[in-house]
Amino acid sequence: MRIHHLKISGFGPFAGTEDIDFDRLSAHGLFLLNGPTGAGKTSVLDAICFALYGSVPGARQDGKRLRSDHAEPAQEPAVTCEFSAQGRRVEETRSPAWEKPSARGRKGFTVQQAKTLLRERVGGAWVEKSARNDEAGAEIMALLGMDRDQFTRVVMLPQGDFAAFLRSKAADRLDLLQKLFGTQRFEAVEQELSRQAAAAREDVSALTAQLGLLSSRAEAEGAQLVLN
C-alpha cells in the first residue's frame, strides 16, 4: 500500500481544509511527521484510518468527537485518502455523522448521516465504485487484506500499543503476519509437497512389498530347481 494524498476538512483539530501530498514528501526517501504535543500528528494518522475504515483507534472511536470543535458551524467534516494497492489506485472519502445547524435561522440541528464515496482510477478517470459504508468497507478490507485492528497494529501502530502487539497470543500474531506477508501461497505449496511426499511413501511401500514378494518367489523357485 502507498498513500498518495490526504485531504482533511473540519476533522479533529483541523478547523479548515488541509492537503498533504505524500508523493512530494516521499520523493527523496523517508520523511518524519514531527511537531509539538497537540499539533495534530496523531490526528493525521486518525484521518487516514477513518478514511479507510470509518473509525479511528482506541478511545477516539466516538464519531461525534471526530468533527473539529473549531470548524465553522455549517462545515461538513470529511477526509479523503488516495492510495495505491495491488496495482489499483483508489480514493475513499468519508464523512462522520454530525449535527448541521438548521437552515433559515431556525434553532436546532439536523443530523447528517455518515457518508462514504469510494472511487477508482480507471483509464485516466475516476470511476465511482460504491457510496455505501458497508460495501466500501468490505472493498477496502479485501484490497488491503487487513481489518482496522490489524491495520492499526501493523501499518499505523498507535502510541504505546507496540508492546501490546508483542504480548498478544502467538496465534494472533501468526494470523496477522500471514495476512500481512501473503504466506497463503507458500502454505498451498507446502500442502501440495506434503501430498506428493505422502503419495511417494505409499508408492515406495507398495513397491517394497512387491519386491519382497518377488524375492520370496525367486527364492522358492531357486530351491525348487536345486531339488530337481
Specify whether 140 is located in the same domain as 187: no
H or E stretch covering 41: helix 41-53
Specify whether 37 is located in the same domain as 138: yes
Specify whether 123 is located in the same domain as 225: no
**Which of the listed residues 144, 163, 192 is the one where a domain comes to its end?**
144
- Tell me if 199 is assigned to some domain: yes
**Which of the listed residues 144, 170, 194 is the one where a domain comes to its end?**
144
- Tell me if 204 is assigned to some domain: yes
H or E stretch covering 94: strand 88-95
Specify whether 12 is located in the same domain as 116: yes
Count of domains forming the chain: 2
Instruction: Give the residue numbers spanning the domain of 40.
Output: 2-144
Amino acid at 26: S
* pLDDT above 50: residue 63: no
- Kindly state the cell numbers that stand for 140: 477496502
| CATH assignment of the domain containing 124 | 3.40.50.300
Higher-confidence residue: 212 or 220?
Answer: 212
- Tell me if 194 is assigned to some domain: yes
Residues 6+ apart with CB under 8 A from 84: 1, 2, 4, 90
- Tell me if 156 is assigned to some domain: no
**Cα of 37 vs its chain's centroid, Å:** 28
DSSP state of 60: G
Render pLDDT for 83-131 as a digit per residue (tens, 0 to 9). 999 999 999 999 998 988 887 666 788 888 999 999 999 999 999 999 9
H or E stretch covering 99: strand 98-101
Render pLDDT for 180-205 as a digit per residue (tens, 0 to 9). 666 777 888 888 899 999 999 999 99
Q: How confident is the model at residue 18 (pLDDT cuts 50, 70, 90)?
A: very high
